Amino acid sequence: MELPLVEPFETSFGVEDRRRFLLVRLEARDGRLGWGECVATREPLYSSESVATSEWVLSRYFLPGLLRLPRPDPAAFEQLARRFRGHHMARAAVEAALLDLEAQRRGRPLSASIGGRRRRVEVGVSVGIQSSPERLVRRVGRYLDTGYRRVKLKVRPGWDARPVAAVRRAYPDLEIWVDANQAYRPTAAERIRTWASRLGVAQVEQPFPERAIRAHADLTRGAPFRVCLDESVVDRPSLDDALAARALTSLNVKVGRVGGPRTARGLARRGDRAGVPVWVGGMLESGIGRALNVHLASAPEFSLPGDLSASDRYYHDDLLERPFTLGPGSTLEVPRGPGLGVEISERSLRRATRRVRTVRP
Ligand SMILES: [Mg+2]
């Protein structure tokens, strides 16, 4: 699939102006369709996965394996997929599509299958790196006018204290989070601590490389802000180790990164039980992946607003007949229909499709 973004999105690892991604569509014998979005990016920049590696592992292992299962349900697929290392985003897309199908069959929204209860979920907006602090302040102002209540600013060495200070000056009471996507060396800890404290930043996300658990633990100690892990937590053992090392005081849960909605919910519970606030992260999903994230965020463990902005934050057309719009109190409504509960636009889908590959039993 290829979808043009409303505006280019820049993080510490690069700029995206159009999103290339895979959709998994499972066709059941009863004619129902289950959908899963694979959030792997065109290039392996966020993690080692890419569109190409996902397509390969899906068509070579996950989908043929799924078709051979006597009972192709999410639990059986999870067992099958566990034999293979990594490829979490590809795996998550299949599990999501299976959950969609299963929930449709039961006539219940997907949120119910993963323990979701809320009818609306609180969301925030993630703002990419801009060409100047003034531009960033204007951009933030626009989102606040739209109704978002907390913003997350992407930062990196050379784009941190100054732009964040500009936003703080313009909005003295705003809840500001920052996310570095691993861009700093551990030696930058003191500097980060200084500017983030001085500017009243509420949360610093993944400043150091994913395996630098000790560096995150050092930053966490006595910090007046939360230290959030994203890329470092890919499964239950990595979360347990990070918790034991006290390397986080906030947890970003992404379905793709951890290999599926079921694991995502499990990690959220684990974090919550350990007293760490949990929230749902985003990967510039189309409406299909966004819908899944909204269902997930309706589970009670998620206590901080997710990166789940309305459809028009990223796309003019996000593949849905009825896009997600921002509601009162910076919220999105959890779809109530069976499965994902969204209506996919055939026309938009055709327009965004670049190639189709079919795997048959
Ligand atoms: Mg992040």
What is the per-residue pLDDT across 144-175, written as a single tens digit (0 to 9) for each? 999 999 999 999 999 999 999 999 999 999 99
Q: What is the largest CA-CA distance in the chain?
A: 61
Tell me the CA–centroid distance for residue 80 and ligand 1, in Å: 29
CB 45 within 8 A of CB 14: yes
Instruction: Say which of 254, 270, 295, 313 is annotated catalytic.
Output: 254
CB 326 within 8 A of CB 310: yes
Over the chain (361 residues), what is each successive 10-residue block's mean pLDDT? 93 89 96 97 94 97 96 94 95 98 97 94 95 97 94 97 98 97 97 98 98 98 97 97 98 98 97 98 96 98 95 94 95 97 97 96 85
Residue 60, number of CB atoms within 10 A of its CB:
11
pLDDT at 16: 87
Strand-pair category, 14-20 with 203-205: unpaired
Tell me the CA–centroid distance for residue 327 and ligand 1, in Å: 24
CB 239 within 8 A of CB 273: no
Residue 105, number of CB atoms within 10 A of its CB:
14
Print the SS3 string covering 14-43. EEEEEEECEEEEEECCCCCEEEEEECCCCC
Tell me the CA–centroid distance for residue 28 and ligand 1, in Å: 35
pLDDT at 14: 83
Tell me the CA–centroid distance for residue 144 and ligand 1, in Å: 21
Tell me the CA–centroid distance for residue 125 and ligand 1, in Å: 12
Q: Looking at the domain that runs over 2-108+343-352, which CATH code has it been given?
A: 3.30.390.10
pLDDT tens string 119-135: 999 999 999 999 999 99
Tell me the CA–centroid distance for residue 281 and ligand 1, in Å: 7
Tokens of 222: 């006595």
Question: Do the domains at 2-108+343-352 and 113-333 have one common CATH topology?
Answer: no
pLDDT at 338: 97
Q: Which helix (H) or strand (E) holds 350?
A: helix 346-352
Question: Catalytic residue at 254?
Answer: yes
Instruction: Say which of 19, 88, 152, 154 is annotated catalytic.
Output: 154
Tell me the CA–centroid distance for residue 231 and ligand 1, in Å: 7
Question: Catalytic residue at 152?
Answer: no
Domain 113-333 = CATH 3.40.50.300: no
Residue extents of the structural domains in the chain: 2-108+343-352, 113-333
pTM for this predicted structure: 0.96
Tokens of 131: 């060409």
End-to-end CA distance of the chain: 24
pLDDT at 13: 83
